[in-house]
């Protein structure tokens, strides 16, 4: 996460909060969850339960073989002839690829 009006001049790690001019890491192990606490509906215990998830499910990992580089995707799409082939490629390579680190 990047703070409002912050200037990013270097790498920011996943699950961290960065802010400032130039940005600095101010918090780590921060996660956005689908079920966010709506005011008045969650107890303090529920909020604490979801404030820190002690696993690596959301952490970014680098594996070059799993990346989809935009230039490679574009070249592959240009090499395909029909709209059906292009649609199948996009569906299989992007939509069906559930790897959290699939994009550079």
Q: Give the tens place of pLDDT for each residue, 81-103.
A: 999 999 999 888 877 877 666 65
Buried b (16+ CB within 10 A) or exposed e, 36-51: eeeeeeeeeeeeeeee
Whether residue 72 is predicted with pLDDT greater than 70 in this model: the reply is yes
Whether residue 38 is predicted with pLDDT greater than 60 in this model: the reply is no
Q: Which of 18, 22, 27 is nearest to 9 (CA)?
A: 22
> Where does the pLDDT of residue 60 fall: very low under 50, low under 70, confident under 90, or very high at 90 and above?
low
Whether residue 39 is predicted with pLDDT greater than 60 in this model: the reply is no
Whether residue 68 is predicted with pLDDT greater than 90 in this model: the reply is no
Q: What is the pLDDT of residue 87?
A: 93
Q: Which of 29, 15, 34, 17 is nearest to 101 (CA)?
A: 15
Mean pLDDT of 64-76: 79
Q: Which of 52, 2, 54 is nearest to 23 (CA)?
A: 2
């Amino acid at each position: 996460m990047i703070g409002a009006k912050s200037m990013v001049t270097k790498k920011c790690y996943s699950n961290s909060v960065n802010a400032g001019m130039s940005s600095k890491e101010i918090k780590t192990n921060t996660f956005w969850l689908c079920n966010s606490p709506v005011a008045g509906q969650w107890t303090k215990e529920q909020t604490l339960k979801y404030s820190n998830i002690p696993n690596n499910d959301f952490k970014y990992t680098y594996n070059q073989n799993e990346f989809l580089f935009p230039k490679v995707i574009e070249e592959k799409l240009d090499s395909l002839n029909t709209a059906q082939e292009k649609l199948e490629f996009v569906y299989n390579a992007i939509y069906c690829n559930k790897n959290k680190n699939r994009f550079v």
